[in-house]
Amino acid sequence: MAITTQTLMDKDWEVVTKSTITGTNGTALKVVDVSALEGAATDPRVTIVSIWWTVSSVTEIEWNADSNITAFTLNGNGNYNAGGQAMPSIANNASTGIDGDIYIENDSACTGTVIIKMRKVSGWDNIEREA
C-alpha cells in the first residue's frame, strides 16, 4: 500500500495530518513520527482528538509498540469527535516498546483519506504552561 502523509498544521498544542491511501498493505506504515514534530523533546506523546475518514475497506489507526495497539478502526465514511461532538481524546495505551508514533494498517485493497487531529500532551519543549 502506498500512503502519502501531509502535515496540515503543527503548532504548540496541536497537529493535524492528512493521509492518502492507495493499494493493499499487510503491515503497518508510519503516518505520524512524533519525534519529528515541532517542539519534540524527550519521549513525546500525543492524543488523538478527532478523526475524519473515507476509506474503501477496514483500516486501523495504531499506536506503535512492540506489538502495535489499535487506537481506532475505520470503515466507509465517518468521523470521531467532529463538529459538536464532545467525546474524549484517545490516549496512547500501548505498553512495551512505545514511542508515540502512529501507524495505519489494512489487509485488503484500500483507497481513501484519513485526517487526524492530535493534541501534544507530554515530552514537548515548546509548550509553555501558565503559572
Across 53-74, average pLDDT: 92
Return the pLDDT at 112. Answer: 93
13 vs 1: CA distance, rounded Å: 31
Whether this prediction's pTM lies above 0.75 is answered by yes
Q: What pLDDT does 63 receive?
A: 94
Domains of the chain, start order:
2-124 (2.60.120)
Band of pLDDT at residue 49, cut at 50, 70 and 90:
very high
61 contacts 74 by C-beta, under 8 angstroms: yes
The x, y and z cell numbers of residue 74, run together, are: 475505520
CA 127/CA 109 separation, integer angstroms: 40
State the average pLDDT over residues 93-99. Answer: 85
Quick one: CA dihedral 23, 101, 82, 5, positive or negative?
A: negative
Residue 131 has pLDDT above 70, yes or no: no
